Structure formats: structure tokens, C-alpha cells
Structure 1
Amino acid sequence: MHPSEPVYVTKPFLPPREAYERYLPGIWERQYLTNQGPLALEFERGLSSYLNVAHLRWVANGTMALQLALRALEVKGEVVTTPFTHIATTSAIVAEGCTPRYADVDAVTFNLDPAQVEAAITSQTRAIVATHVFGNPCDIVALEAIARRRGIKLIFDAAHCFGVQWQGRSVLECGDASILSLHATKLFHSTEGGAVVLRDEAAAKRVDQHRNFGMEQGDLTELIGVNGKNSELHAAMGLANLPFADEILERRRQQHVRYTSLLEDAKGLQFQGLSIQSGYNHAYFPVLLPSEAAVETLLSRLAKQFIYPRRYFSPSLSEQYPQYNAHPCPISEDLAHRIVCLPLYHTMEEAVQVAIVEEMREMLSNWTSAQVA
């Protein structure tokens, strides 16, 4: 089966055009496009309500959200973080004048290994930035205990975690701060956007000031801030998408379950070990193949059918930026060599999933036979 059009790793969900366009007359009438306009404030409140979190601030993007979290918590110095994540995690840390220190990850969950985090902490460490990889929560209890014992801040890069629940509450409420990406490629989006969720209102107020150039009243500034605000047009997309959030999550769950059932007995394939049994958002479907050569073979075969999974995350940041390695990170590097994220998006048809699985199963069968021979 050849798809009628190219199949990429993801496509953005788009609401009915009229759901978005109904906000446009008011934008044109007000001529108020940015600087925390009425739609921006409405979306920020609506997002906070849907996610059931307090102290949420909607900002320009997920990278900016992490920078603002570091600023609000006054983090300067070394930051222990993961090499198995998007470069944006590291770039935000560096942009705020901090030094990343990579600790290795767990081979099952793909998240930071708390023991490796502990070993990477020095007298210069001021924070931990831990990514919930593919929306799979970290060992939150262990990381919170380390941060508390060492007297350092704990920030969760929860870019993938829209709607994820942990122990009966939003995973975004964990740590001193959590950040969320609302980029167009994410499960839920506002075209471009991000959010930072703080533990207390005082820190949230510091984000308010930092995201507006440091200005508090008029043009007076008490600190050097940044432009972290978002626009009314992006807020309109977020507001138009919000009523469909439950539908998006349920559709993604069904697709994730289908992949799992079709691939669970495939030889030579490994899945990410989920740390929660319920509350997961099924945002991604990562698989580990036997080797990097197997990954390249699969990608080549699928490309001939115009199907394009993604090697996400590859290469490991520990290989790209070894100067930031606290210690060697062999597990992160092994995962990066063998991982593939399969296509997954709202309008993806069952037949396309079946075609991808059939190609994978045939490739793995041939690969396994060749290795035995």
C-alpha cells in the first residue's frame, strides 16, 4: 500500500476554519495584536483551567519557557541535565549563562537516571533540568529527593507532556517549575507557543516581568528581561484548538494502542518502558531497533513508500557536545543510534499504520534471519 501523499512523523492538528476565523473580526476591530491582549489572557486562563494547574504563564515558545523558568528561579552555575533530548533544552540553559552537565539516562524509560544525576552534582551545581522524554514522566520522587537534599532547584522539561497526569494531578505541577511546548508539531498547539508552570505566585510574577523586557509599569525596568510574549493570532489558534483537546488525546491513544498491538510480538524490537499505567498522553511512538544499520535499512525502505519516520533524538547531545559531559553517557548514545519515532498524527489513517507495520515486520524478519545466518 502506497499512501496517497507523503507520511511525515507528524502533522499539526487544525480545527475547523470557522473555529479559528470567528476570532479574527475582533482582532481586526481592536487592532491589538500583542502585549498580553484579551485573547492571550483568555487562552492563558483557559489552558490553566484545562490542565488544572495554577501559576501558568503562556509565552512565545517552549525554549523561552525554559529560559524564563531559569530566570525566575535565579539559576546561575552548573545545571545537570539529559543528553537524550532536543537541543533546545541545552540551548536554553546556555542562553541563560549556565553550564549544562550531562548525566546518563535509564535504558528502559529513556529519562535521566537519578543515580547518574547524583554523581554529576558538584559544588557548582544549582539546578537539575530533567526531560520527561516523549511525555513519559521521570522518576520524580527520586529527583525531588536529590534536589531537596542538595539544596538545588528542580525544573522539568515537560515539552511533550500536554495532558499527562502523575499520581492524580498534572505532571506540570512537579518540581520548582515545569515547561510545556505548544509548537505546531506537538500534540496540542497554538502554532508557536509554550508555557511555564511555577510552584508559587511569586515566581510566576517574576516570569511576568521577565517576559516583558523587565518592565513592570510603563517603560520603567527593574531588570533586564526579554520579549517572551505571544500574539493574539497565536492565542486564537490555541483557543480554537482547546475544545478539541479531549478528542485529540483519545484519538492519539487509539493510534498508540494500534501500533502496540500490531508490533508487540515483533522480533528485535524494543519499546520505551512507561513509568505510569494511566495518565499518559501517547504523544509519540518510539521504538528501538537492533542496531543503527537496522535503523538506516528501515528508513530507506519506508522512504521508497514516501513514509518518513524520524530519528528522534539522534545523535545524543553527549556526542555533539562532549565538553558538557559530567561522565560518559553510553546509554544515551546507544538509544540515539537505535531509535526511530513512527509517524503519528490526528488524521493518520489505520491503513497507513498497517502499511508501516508490515514493512517493519518484513524488514525485521529479514534482518533477524541474516544475523542468524
Structure 2
Amino acid sequence: MSFHATKLFHTIEGGAVITNDDELARKIRLLINFGITSPTTIESVGTNAKMNEFEAAMGLCVLDEIDTIKTERQRIWQSYQTELPPGLVQFQQWNPQSQNNHAYAPVLFESEQQLLKVEAKLKENNIIPRRYFYPSLDTLDYLKEPVIARSDATRQSPATNQACLISRDIASRILCLPIYPGLAPAQQQTICGIIQNQVEN
């Protein structure tokens, strides 16, 4: 799990791995500490991925305020639902069996052109939304499977360079709006007003 600064709970950077596999936990501990097992023994390759004291202190401070943070994020998320008129943008539909921790406030626009217009206007007003889910991962060159020359050119893996068209469509039209404790109602009204003005005009 990620403890990046944009998360509900964070330690500025870093994250955690949770496992019930003792052997896997041992390997992970080696990896995060250079592979060192004792002051004179290095068992394997590793890196320096230990949490530092400053990050730990930040995590403890955030943990002390976690209920307030959750309440504030929920208020802001619900305000977006209320302030943005139906049909202006599309909100994510939540599975009734799941819980929303209000970590993000994604909205879907009718087109990428509309999104870019809104994004530009928000940035003009020093409001920074994020395209967290762009680009669609199937468009990244380094994830594309190379086509291997074969005697029978038709015998290629069906997964080779498969286009994920729904993912591409949604990734091009989804924008995450600011959501963080301290975002004042007046600031949020400005955000919603800019979105409405840019979409309707």
C-alpha cells in the first residue's frame, strides 16, 4: 500500500507491504535493508527502503488526525456531488458492498477536449487538478509485448499489443479534483463554478 502524500493516510512518501507469509516477510525485510542480516553479514541484494524518523513522525501526526481528515474529505466529496449539476460531469458509481474513503474526487467529462479546457482554466486560477489515471497503461511503449518473428506470422499471442479501448476512453476523460482537509467551501465553489462555466460555454 502507498503512503504517498496524496493518500488518506500518508508518511509523505513510502508505503507498506502486508503479508501473512513469514518467509516472504523475511525476504522483504532483507530487501529494504541492503540485504543485511547482521553487523557483519549481507545475505542478498537489497536497497535502502527503510522509513526515516521524519516520515514516521509525519505518519503519527496524520494518524492522530485521521478521523478529522476522513470527515473533511467526505464533506468535500459530497459538496462536489451537490455543487456540480447532474449531467455536467459523471461521478463514479460505487459498489454498495464497498466503502468510499474519499481519497480522490474523480469526475468524467464528455470529451478529452472538454477536460483539457476545464483543466487549463483551473490552472489559470492556481487550482491544480490531476489526471491520475492518464494515460491508459496499454499505450505505454515499455509495456507492449514485442512481436517475435515466426515462420507462421499469424501465430501471435492474442495479448500482443492488445488495445484496451474502454480504458483509453475513460483515461482520456477523467480528472481528479482537489480534495484535502483545509479546502475551504469558497475555494470549492470557485472550482465548481469554473467547471460549470467551461462545460456550458
- 2:90 maps to 270
SS in 2 for 1:195: coil
Show CA shifts across 1:135-167 (max 9, x none): xxxxxxxxxxxxxxxxxxxxxxxxxxxxxxxxx
Q: Between Structure 1 and Structure 2, which shows a larger proportion of strand residues? A: 1
Q: 1:338 aligns with which of 164, 173, 182?
A: 173
Do the aligned partners of 2:88 and 2:196 also contact (CA within 8 Å) in 1?
Answer: no
SS in 1 for 2:24: helix
Give the TM-score normalised by structure 1: 0.47
- 1:192 maps to 13
Do the aligned partners of 2:104 and 2:179 also contact (CA within 8 Å) in 1?
Answer: yes
Matched, 1:279 2:99: yes
What is the aligned residue count?
A: 186
Q: 1:273 to 1:324 in 2, by over 3 A?
A: farther
- 2:141 maps to 321
- 2:69 maps to 248
- 2:108 maps to 288
CA distance in 2, matches of 1:297, 1:354: 18
CA drift of 1:342 comes to 0.7
Show CA shifts across 1:342-362 (max 9, x none): 111111001111121122123
Q: 1:322 to 1:234 in 2, by over 3 A?
A: closer
CA distance in 2, matches of 1:228, 1:181: 13
Q: 1:319 to 1:278 in 2, by over 3 A?
A: closer
Amino acid at match of 2:192: V
CA distance in 2, matches of 1:253, 1:294: 26
Unaligned regions of 5+ residues in structure 1, if any?
Answer: 1-179, 367-373
Q: Which runs of 4+ in 1 moved over 3 A?
A: none
CA drift of 1:277 comes to 5.0
CA drift of 1:230 comes to 1.6
- 2:153 maps to none
Show CA shifts across 1:236-274 (max 9, x none): 121222111111111111111111122251x24212222
Q: 1:197 to 1:313 in 2, by over 3 A?
A: same
Q: 2:194 aligns with which of 327, 350, 359?
A: 359
Do the aligned partners of 2:32 and 2:48 also contact (CA within 8 Å) in 1?
Answer: yes
- 2:132 maps to 312
CA drift of 1:322 comes to 6.5
The higher-RCO structure (CA 8 Å, 6+ apart) is 1
CA distance in 1, matches of 2:105, 2:164: 23
Q: 1:322 to 1:275 in 2, by over 3 A?
A: farther
More deviation, 314-323/338-347: 314-323
CA distance in 2, matches of 1:262, 1:285: 13
Q: 1:276 to 1:264 in 2, by over 3 A?
A: farther
Matched, 1:237 2:50: no
- 1:85 maps to none
Matches within 5 A, 1:42-53: none
More deviation, 199-208/332-341: 199-208
Show CA shifts across 1:155-212 (max 9, x none): xxxxxxxxxxxxxxxxxxxxxxxxx111223222112221111133332222112211
CA drift of 1:276 comes to 4.5
CA distance in 2, matches of 1:306, 1:235: 31
- 1:205 maps to 26
Q: 1:196 to 1:264 in 2, by over 3 A?
A: farther
SS in 1 for 2:17: strand
- 2:148 maps to none
Matched, 1:348 2:168: no
CA distance in 1, matches of 2:173, 2:63: 35
Q: 1:324 to 1:273 in 2, by over 3 A?
A: farther
Q: 1:241 to 1:339 in 2, by over 3 A?
A: same
CA distance in 2, matches of 1:185, 1:300: 21
Do the aligned partners of 2:33 and 2:48 also contact (CA within 8 Å) in 1?
Answer: yes
Give the TM-score normalised by structure 2: 0.83
SS in 2 for 1:196: coil
Mark the structure with the bigger radius of gyration. 2
